[in-house]
Structure 1
């Protein structure tokens, strides 16, 4: 699949009911002991939704809270505050094992490291067959074998019969990551949480995994939350882009709109960090000075203010809230300007 195919496959009509929605989602962690105990604000008051057959990219530097959001959606962490709604139902109401198992089958996760996400003691079919037995108990053993072969072929690994009986060490990193997607597909999911699935792979094979995500969206009807620090891959595959910094989503909107017309200074900084072979080697990023983000007991104000070349006095005392600055384009910045002629 080429980049043109991906553009044509993107879903343009926003569905009325999202697959998943986060409202004021918050997660804090206690650090230290006794009188030195503090609170790390990993995610603060985050709001977003993901529609049917939609690929949404969540981008930001390491430590911004991206993976914490994925683990909140996967049910690994419980929110400190706010709520997650799955197909309109609050996740906090999933009390029974049946409800929790059904949710985890509908919203599986593909991990960053293909070398440690598979058990080296078992053949690669083991995890897929186990998922099928757990999440699709109506299948007989022969049906599970048949479905395992189907999902392996769906992710581009052939012949499936040969691949199924290999051990993880017999596969390349790209093949192992495709097995990770096959395990997720075995659940018959509605949404796949892909936590930096290509970051540990060679550049030459990353494009194949991105094309796979776009193809699975089309053929299997699945949505994706694609977590990445790579703006170029987000531009290539995502319908919408959310930029995260120090626990806050600071900008969001259609991917092309956010990247072509960034509103938040941090988005500008990320775009400036994308390597440009035409730029001089000594060229730096203007304004990228100051301290790293403060997320342990942070004070009010914009968390990017210490690195922002546009910061004003208001940025130090008032935390900016997201506001619409263009068509479906939001940014949490006191100094960001709306598009010409745009009115909320």
Structure 2
């Protein structure tokens, strides 16, 4: 099956989400042949990504964010659940050619740029190779022209000179932009960006976040932006999804979630954001330890051991997501409005982020 088949066979209506994941679960068996221990990396995740939308997936290390990314990129098969992309279930894609066609539409940009850049070859190699693979209609001259256009699009100029350089001659931020150029070469509908700015200086991060928003606005590309930094999520994202110990605990429009966080874990994450104007800073003392191990977890809320609001029901019953605002859902037994606070809006946060940069 070709890319054209993927484009036409299951196309959803323009007003429907680009990607919908329901009941998404991924477990890993641990130990030897006779071991029954199971790592619950992701459990029953519900996720949507709209067309031309940046969705930030946030949480601390070990929460399952990167596993979700690899499930959506078809690197891992799900243990259960379904992923629909442009109206078509990914489980229906059989064979290498159809999976390759999907990955062209949903490429990954990795935290470490060298994860997608071969240091032996010049910068032009990866981009031209992607164009040969996914755009066979282009001849040699057209591929070179398109590669130069892509480098210019991601802010690497003069493009002709950049193409002749080797990755080690580029800075970390420049290498990450090369990763975005390689991803754009296949004309994707979705880019899965797994912590693309976490290894960069603050002054460089702002440029890449701006690049993501420009690509969304100008090309209509959607992004799943995986991060542990709520400040950068507030700057770039349209919606926020918060993960904890393999489960999604809260999600909704970014301004709504940050202005009125309903889950205690979201409030804990916000307490770590440097913002002297926010009274959430005094919630930092609510943290009671490390995230739980998700090997053979027992029923109940996985945040209960660290939660200052935990009740008996939290130890016996898994919380299920429920609506707590317009397009705002929370998986918590004791969800309540957050205390009065003055968290900056996304626009104010953007200005503050620029000032700090």
Q: Same fold (TM over 0.5)?
A: yes
**Hey, what does 1:266 align to over in structure 2?**
265
Mapping of 1:216-295 within 5 angstroms?
216-276=215-275, 285-295=284-294
Q: How far 1:34 sits from its partner (Å)?
A: 4.1
- The Cα of 1:117 is off from its aligned counterpart by 3.2
Q: Structure 1 residues 327, 284: closer, same or farther in 2, change over 3 A?
A: closer
* 1:83 counterpart residue number: 82
What are the Cα deviations for residues 155-179 of structure 1, in whole angstroms up to 9, with x where unaligned? Answer: 0110000001100011000000000
1:281-337 deviations in Å (ceiling 9; x for gaps): x97712211452231000110000000000000000000000001111000000003
Secondary structure of the residue that 2:77 maps to in structure 1?
coil
> Unmatched 5+ residue regions in structure 2?
1-12, 339-357
CA drift at 1:36 = 3.9
Cα deviation for residue 100 of structure 1 reads 1.2
Q: Identify unmatched segments of 5+ residues in structure 1.
A: 1-13, 340-344
Q: Deviations over 1:195-252 (max 9, x none)?
A: 0000000111100000000001111110000000000000010000000001111000
Check whether the contact 2:53–2:238 (CA below 8 A) recurs between aligned residues: yes
Query: Distance in 2 between the 1:283 and 1:218 partners?
Result: 37
| Root mean square deviation of aligned Cα | 1.9
Query: CA-to-partner distance for each residue in 1:27-56, whole Å, 9 max, x for gaps?
Result: 000111244441000000001110110000
Supply the distance in 1 between the matched residues of 2:290 and 2:52 (Cα, whole angstroms).
39
Of 194-203 and 111-120, deviating more is 111-120
Aligned to 1:146: 145
How big is each residue's C-alpha offset from its partner over 1:2-46, in whole Å with a ceiling of 9 and x where there is no partner? xxxxxxxxxxxx963111110100000011124444100000000
Q: Counterpart in 2 of 1:177?
A: 176
Deviation at 1:338, TM superposition (A): 6.2
Report the counterpart of residue 121 of structure 1 in structure 2: 120
How has the CA–CA distance of structure 1 residues 258 and 278 changed in structure 2, closer, same or farther, with 3 Å as cutoff? closer
**Corresponding residue for 1:66?**
65
Alpha-carbon distance between aligned partners in 1 of 2:35 and 2:291, rounded to the nearest angstrom:
21
Q: What SS does structure 2 have at the residue aligned with 1:57?
A: strand
Query: Structure 1's 283 and 254: CA in aligned 2 closer, same or farther, altered over 3 A?
Result: closer
SS of the aligned residue for 2:45 comes to strand
Secondary structure in 1 matching 2:266: helix
Q: Which residue of 2 aligns with 1:336?
A: 335
Aligned to 1:160: 159
Aligned to 1:19: 18
Spell out, residue by residue over 1:81-135, the C-alpha distance to the aligned partner (whole angstroms, 9 max, x if none). 0011011111010003332121011000000012443111000110000000111
Q: 1:230-283: per-residue Cα shift (whole Å, max 9, x none)? A: 00000010000000001111000000100110000000000011124679xx97
Query: Helix, strand or coil: the match of 2:156?
Result: coil
Which residue of 2 is the match for residue 204 of structure 1? 203
Decide whether the 8 Å contact of 2:271 with 2:282 is kept in 1.
no
Native 8 Å contact 2:245 2:291 kept in 1: no
Matched, 1:314 2:324: no
1:134-164 per-residue CA deviation (whole Å, 9 max, x = no partner) reads: 1111111111111100100000110000001
**More displaced stretch, 41-50 vs 90-99:** 90-99
Distance (whole Å) between structure 2 residues aligned to residue 138 and residue 336 of structure 1: 54
